[in-house]
Homo-oligomer: A and B are copies of this chain.
């Protein structure tokens, strides 16, 4: 398991544009928080869809790295998201990821997305990540893998 501190440092160094912060990680789960300000809002006072997609993506990434260690080339291969309710314009977005499968080369997880403090979720996503195969003797936290197909968040 990778600690929350290690993961937060990794995200800050390697994904400086990412605005989500880690609330908790471990036990095949992760919770992340994304602030909502002018840059996230749209006409009608709602949070932009791509903000929620980014939250889903990073929540999955954190949940997976929390289990397998810092493997930067772990990349998204697919994401499916359903938007269900209008998010609040004055509350942070919270993404709660639960891994459904963590195989050697593929991970699948779901992310329930909330406006902070509101019970009913605003969106729900399911994503898959490809985990690079390791050459024998190389541990997962050495980022010396060939590039897999897919997308880092």
Point out residues on A near B: beta carbons under 8 Å: 14-15, 17, 39, 42-44, 46-50, 52-54, 57, 72-73, 75-86, 100-101, 103, 106, 108, 110, 112, 120-121, 123-124, 126, 128, 147, 149-153
CB of B110 within 8 A of CB of A48, answer: no
- CB-contact partner of A46 in B77, B126, B152, under 8 A: B152
How long is the Cα–Cα vector from A81 to B53 in the complex, in angstroms? 11
In the assembled complex, the Cα of A18 lies from the Cα of B70 at a distance in Å of 31
Query: Complex formed: what's the CA distance from A147 to B82 in Å?
Result: 17
Q: List 16 A-B contacts (CB under 8 A).
A: A15-B43, A44-B72, A47-B151, A49-B76, A50-B53, A53-B79, A75-B83, A77-B106, A77-B128, A80-B80, A82-B100, A82-B128, A83-B150, A84-B108, A86-B147, A110-B110
Alpha-carbon distance between A149 and B77 when the two chains are bound, in angstroms:
15
Closest to A54 in B: B50
Residues from chain B with a CB closer than 8 A to the CB of A39 are 17
> From A72, which residue of chain B is reached at the shortest CB distance?
B43
Which residues from chain B contact A126 at a C-beta distance below 8 Å? 80, 82, 124, 126
**C-alpha spacing A8/B45, complex, angstroms:** 21
Bound CA–CA A15/B14 (angstroms): 28
What B residues does A82 contact at CB under 8 A? Answer: 77-78, 100, 108, 126, 128
Closest chain B CB from A87 CB (angstroms): 8
